[in-house]
Amino acid sequence: MTVSITDVARAAGVSASTVSRALRGRPGVSDEVRAQIAAVAAQLGYTASRSASSLASGRTFTIGVVVPYVGRWFFGTVLDAAEKVFSAAGYDVLLYNLGSPETRKRFFTKLPVRKRVDAVLSLLIPDEEESAALRSLGVPLATTVGGARPGFTVVGIDDRAGTESAVRHLVNLGHRRIGMISGSSGPLHWTTPVERRQAYLDVLADAGIEHDPALEADGDYTVEGGERAMTELLAASRPPTAVFAQSDEMAMGALRALRRHRLRVPDDVSVVGFDDHELADVVGLTTVAQPVAGQGAEAARLLLRQLDEPDADAGQPGQVQMPIRLVLRETTAPPSPRGPQ
């Protein structure tokens, strides 16, 4: 026998509308009553009809997620955390992986999410034309990358402050030849490499250290790229005694290159990363910790809030800055008198 919402309401001693609000996570129901209704629904084996809910609310109960690199650790971690929040609230995720200029152009030209999703979480930075296209959907928009932009709720970190803390740590240890492994923004308009590079240059300038272009290398935000970049830096006429890598994955690649060159970390070369990757503690990497999963979860919660309370905060999306901190581990120390050979 099919259990209806009326059966749940009768067993819980509340109205059917209260059951609907409780099970959909809507406001106006106390935590105690919500828990009671959830327990009764589970006991009776009640499952809400997605089609009926959609007809009643005009929603699709689907969230569109746009990501540039679904296979990269950062984006995968954000996506996983966001999906868990959406799923718990009864929403499905419709994923679009725009890893090439061609797929990106096709997506923004056709906008296949139109009328298929209730909100969009974008993990890439759209240009002005693309932003206008997303706003034309008329649904809540959120992102975890880049700075503030009209129509979007932005959940992120202060990239400059994080980089400054990492590079200043190396300066304070006494390093003067500080290299950097970064990545280009490329066709995806990613601003993180630009922000972190500028912060690196600013700290060097503040410390009176002349910038040497030979101490910068592109690591493509991958382990393999980090290894190539570190090898390139070691080939410089005056190699660095310390390296700041704009991501932990590139830092891990740098550690592998140093090991293959029979150099000791941190005795010969110090290394600092950025992210606090789940393996950073395993390899003892000093890094700037950011709550990657926390950003995905918070962005998802804010999108759901906009769906359930469209008039909250006068309908004005905002910017949420998550905390960061420098985590000191075993890969940094004062420079060795002899440095890398």
pLDDT digits (tens, 9 = 90+) for 35-90: 888 888 888 887 665 555 554 456 789 999 999 888 889 999 999 999 999 998 88
The reported pLDDT for the residue numbered 189 is 62
Residue 337 lies inside a defined structural domain of this protein: no
Cα dihedral sign for 190, 192, 198, 201?
negative
Residue 204 lies inside a defined structural domain of this protein: yes
Residues 75 and 118 grouped into a single domain: yes
CA distance 277 to 268: 24
Pair 248, 276: CB distance under 8 Å? yes
The model's pTM is 0.80
Residue 107 lies inside a defined structural domain of this protein: yes
Other CB atoms closer than 10 Å to residue 27's CB: what's the count? 9
Residue 109 lies inside a defined structural domain of this protein: yes
Residues 15 and 78 grouped into a single domain: no
Mean pLDDT of the chain: 89
Give SS3 for 120.
strand
The reported pLDDT for the residue numbered 340 is 53
Residues 270 and 255 grouped into a single domain: yes
Residues 81 and 139 grouped into a single domain: yes
Residues 194 and 261 grouped into a single domain: yes
Residues 163 and 151 grouped into a single domain: no
Q: Of 87-96, 194-203, 208-217, 246-255, which range is least confident?
A: 87-96
Q: Of 13-22, 24-33, 175-184, 269-278, which range is least confident?
A: 24-33
Residue 44 belongs to domain with CATH number: 1.10.260.40
Residue 13 lies inside a defined structural domain of this protein: yes
Residues 164 and 282 grouped into a single domain: yes
Residue 18 lies inside a defined structural domain of this protein: yes
CA distance 68 to 97: 6
The reported pLDDT for the residue numbered 338 is 62
Residues 121 and 243 grouped into a single domain: no
Residue 338 lies inside a defined structural domain of this protein: no
312 — pLDDT class (breaks 50, 70, 90) = low
Give SS3 for 152.
strand
Q: Where are the alpha helices (DSSP H) in 138-263?
A: 159-172, 192-206, 223-234, 248-260
Give SS3 for 326.
strand
Kindly report the backbone phi and psi dihedral angles of residue 25, in degrees, each rounded to the nearest multiple of 5, phi listed first: 75, 20
110 — pLDDT class (breaks 50, 70, 90) = very high
CA distance 341 to 20: 69
Distance of CA 284 to the CA centre of its chain: 23
Is pLDDT above 60 for 185?
no
Specify the number of domains making up the chain. Answer: 3
The reported pLDDT for the residue numbered 28 is 73
Residues 280 and 183 grouped into a single domain: yes
The reported pLDDT for the residue numbered 66 is 95
pLDDT digits (tens, 9 = 90+) for 214-239: 999 999 999 999 999 999 999 999 99
CA distance 165 to 172: 10
Choose between 100 and 334: higher pLDDT: 334
4 — pLDDT class (breaks 50, 70, 90) = confident
Look up residue 210 and give its DSSP letter. P
Residues 44 and 66 grouped into a single domain: no
Residues 311 and 283 grouped into a single domain: no
Q: Which domain holds residue 224?
A: 159-290
The reported pLDDT for the residue numbered 127 is 85
In percent, how much of the chain has pLDDT > 70? 90
Residue 165 belongs to domain with CATH number: 3.40.50.2300
Residue 41 lies inside a defined structural domain of this protein: yes
Residues 125 and 222 grouped into a single domain: no
The reported pLDDT for the residue numbered 34 is 84
